Chain A
Amino acid sequence: MPKITLSINQQDYQVEAPSGMPLLWVIREQCELTGTKFGCGIAQCGACTVHVDGKPVRSCITPAASVEGKSITTIEGIAPKPDVLHEVQKAWIELQTPQCGYCQSGQIMSAVALLNENPNPSDSDIDEAMSGNICRCGMYGRIRAAIKQASAAIQQKTIL
Chain B
Amino acid sequence: MKIAVLVKQVPGSESALPISGEQTWIDEHMVSFVMNPPDNFALEEALLINETEGDGEVVIVSMGPARVQKVIREGLAKGADRGIHLEEDGRIETDPLSIAKRFSSVLKEENFDLILTGLQSDDMGMGQTGILIGELLGMSTATLAMETDVQNGSIRVKRELESGWFQWVKMPLPASISIQSGLNTPRYPSLKGIMGAKKKEVKVVSSGEHQTASKSQSIDKVFVPQTTKQTEVIEGDADAAVTRIVEILKSEIKIL
User: A and B: partners?
Assistant: no
Which chain A residues have a beta carbon within 8 Å of chain B's beta carbons? none
The chain B residues found within 8 Å of chain A, CB to CB, are none
